[in-house]
Structure 1
Amino acid sequence: MVKWSPLVSAGFFVLGLTACATAPTLSLKTTPIPPVSRVVILAEPAATMPVEITQPIFVTAEHGRLAEVAVLGPTGPLAGQMSADGSGVWIAESTELAYGTTYRISAKAVDSRGVANTETDDFTTVSPEKFFTGSVSPLPDTAVGIGTPIAVTFDKSVSDRAAVQRALVITTSVPIEGAWAWLTDKVVVFRPRYYWPGDITATVSLNLTGVQAKPGIYRSGDI
């Protein structure tokens, strides 16, 4: 509401304007929108040190989803696929890499805004100083007595006996109870708890790929 009132000052007649209501004021309050985190690609193994050839390879993304993954070696890309549990992890299908070899992981991920980020990383596998091998007796397709042990003889001394022994697998046509025992640092034998039953077939597998007999001495493949 505006009210007009006459004012007299020094012989002049002046119209004065008096406001009876204040003008409204506008107040703005804003809330900052948090920035979307940049998508980060994580890969295992890392490039900080040489890795074992049996090291699993997987790639994942933080703050986004993987769009493309490639792991390249000297013979081409390694096969792989996204995990079946929906966790968004890419896993290489290969369970054995090559010794002394550099691999490159290249991955592309996209965040919630559709912004893509591509990263690459290299890692190198261990380079053995030497290799070791082993032989099994009795020889394949040999008939043996009920008390004959199975012996594995290595051409290098073994200091990590637990790791090597875990790689020795005996499969029998009927269940049998027995145990391994080391005779020397190169010879380990398996004996049944009692005796071998008649007409039993036993198969010995030396799953020694990537196993160290001692630091720097590896087996290059299974036997």
Structure 2
Amino acid sequence: MLPPRRLALTIATKLAAGVLAAGAIAVIGATPALAVEPYPSAPIITAVNAGPAATELQVVYTAPLAAGGSPITAYQVSIDGGAIWFTCAGTAGICPLGSLTSGQTYSVILRAVNATGAGEISNTGVGIPAAAVTESADKPKVLPKPRVRVSAKFNSASNNLGVTSPTVRLGVGALPKFRFSRDISNKAAVERNLAVTATNQDGIVRGVPGAWGWLDNRSAVFRPRTWWPGNSTIKITSTLDNAVLGKSGRTYVVGSTALARTYTFLTGNSVVIKVDGKTDRMSVFIDGVKRKIFPVSLGAADWETSNGVKVISVDKEPLHTYTSAALGITDPDDQYLLPDIPWNTRLTPTGEFIHAAPWAYSRIGSWNGSHGCTNMFESDAKWIYDNTVPGDVVVYSNTRGQTVEPWNGPGGLWNIPWASWLKKSALHSAVPDTSAATGSGTTTPVESAGV
């Protein structure tokens, strides 16, 4: 089996700009971070082209940056997210796949193998086996009539993060959203014509594994497979101009020429805070390194703090008054009024905060007794208040509470299981049939996906 660290990087699903007509290309994803020796790092898929026959694809790739502790002996390809792997045949840099279904969309990943085993998994490429054509179905040379133009608004910090400026650095849990001016029936065309990349502080550009999810017929949110890379410039390059995005009755819906642009936002340090309801401890990870450990007290029985991902917004108050009435408590024996409580960082619109709790110092770090908020010592709550930004992530576990609902705050959508999120994507919702897939007669399947 792959080591756990590497398994976490296995499936990247991200569309890049390009067209996905029969025989055309869409390349998605990113190069995962270099693997620790002795395994090879990830190869890079640069294109997925239609093959010579209508049932073939050719995966074009570049070699990994690091071969690991021994030379690379083979490359393996998968078209089902890594459940089955085929050993590539053919010339170096090209991996052929055959016995595919003409006209069906395939998502492809690749990995290199050396004497130690299989290495990190590549970015994801998408292609359709069919005879090559010279024109994209999404963007025909002659636009159909009658037609109407559609525009879109972009929000790099959707779900009420409270930030609008593209120059403000966001946390790695921000979720960008497009909101179109008309209903979109050809959602796959939208996804094919949006490419997401991240440029780090060294100027290295990589695709971002992830998927677009449609909240309704007009709104699409991009969710990375994991968090955004920290300290990066995120670019979403749109080629939606003059793309046919479906029909409204008899009228074709076509992307406005103003949609030929790149949308940009910035991420700051990768701040991921983990709160364990069993140990009553909060651990703060900055750029992957544990920097702080704080004692906490969470929700008591019947008022359990919710589990799952929450995302910090601009909704912070240096002083906040907490009342039983705000929680709908009517029991006369459970009434309370706590005025001017310091250092309040809201996590959900339903009332979960991180805040100081001077009356609860005896239980902080020992047992849970709040009405759902995260109680902290005053200096610790102030540290959270001062050192977090909109988009920073807080993950709760072992609270005995329910999981945060998708609608409940800026972090809600992160709690949709990844497989369920992919079902919200027009491109990733279909599961490809791999039963007949081979590699142009010579690529052979690997016995186990856990090589």
Taking structure 2 as the reference length, the TM-score comes to 0.21
Greater relative CO, 1 or 2 (CA 8 Å, sep 6+): 2
Higher strand share: 1
